[in-house]
């Protein structure tokens, strides 16, 4: 694994992932899969007064997928919906101290799982998520 030069932060979030699990009364749930590598993420968000008060994930995937899921759930907590929608895969990768080029798609999966959870939240509240809804959703 060190062959790929993972940063210390990537290794830390892989070995000690934050926010693993489910939110039983989630406000939104997003499922995203990458058809090429087969990795799958499920993201849960809890929203109160338009603020994301909690986020959890379950990822069946590679180490970078686990690290980026962990980081994105940390980044999103305490943010408004509008702020959360601005979180990019690049920001997630940067927060982890960078990712090897062949692993950047794992951070895309994390961004899209978050957007899928936000889209689910929108739909549950009668709002239209089509402007940002990801296309790789699995069910």
- For ligand FES (CB under 6 A), the number of binding residues is 10
CB within 8 Å of 82: residues ≥ 6 apart = none
Nearest to 28 by CA among 89, 96, 76, 75: 76
What are the structure tokens assigned to 135, written together?
């296309």
CA dist 84 and 99 (Å) reads: 21
Q: How many helices (H) and strands (E) does the chain have?
A: 5, 3
Minimum distance from CB of 46 to ligand FES (Å)? 25
Backbone angles phi, psi at 59, to 5 degrees: -125, 130
Stretch of 14-22, 43-51, 61-69, 87-95 lying at the interface with ligand FES (CB under 6 A)? 61-69
Q: Would you name the residues annotated as active-site residues? A: 37, 106
Out of 47, 65, 84, 113, name the contact with ligand FES by CB under 6 A. Answer: 65
Minimum distance from CB of 39 to ligand FES (Å)? 4
DSSP code of residue 11 = H
Stretch of 4-12, 74-82, 101-109, 119-127 lying at the interface with ligand FES (CB under 6 A)? 101-109
Looking at residues 25 to 44 of the shown chain, list those that interact with ligand FES (rule: CB under 6 A): 34, 37, 39
Give CA separation, 51 vs 82, 97, 120, in Å: 9, 27, 15
Minimum distance from CB of 81 to ligand FES (Å)? 25
112 binds ligand FES (CB under 6 A): no
Q: Which residues bind ligand FES (CB under 6 A)?
A: 34, 37, 39, 61-62, 64-65, 105-106, 109
């Amino acid at each position: 694994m060190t062959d790929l030069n993972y940063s210390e932060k990537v290794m830390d979030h892989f070995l000690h992932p934050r926010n693993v699990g489910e939110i039983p009364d989630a406000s939104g749930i997003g499922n995203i899969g990458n058809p090429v590598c087969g990795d799958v993420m499920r993201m849960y968000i809890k929203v109160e007064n338009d603020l994301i008060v909690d986020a959890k994930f379950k990822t069946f995937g590679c180490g970078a997928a686990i690290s980026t899921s962990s980081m994105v759930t940390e980044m999103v907590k305490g943010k408004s919906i509008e702020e959360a929608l601005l979180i990019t895969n690049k920001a997630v990768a940067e927060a982890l101290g960078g990712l090897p080029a062949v692993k950047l798609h794992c951070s895309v999966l994390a961004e899209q799982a978050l957007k899928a959870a936000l889209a689910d939240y929108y739909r549950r509240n009668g709002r239209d998520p089509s402007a940002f809804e990801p296309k790789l959703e699995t069910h």
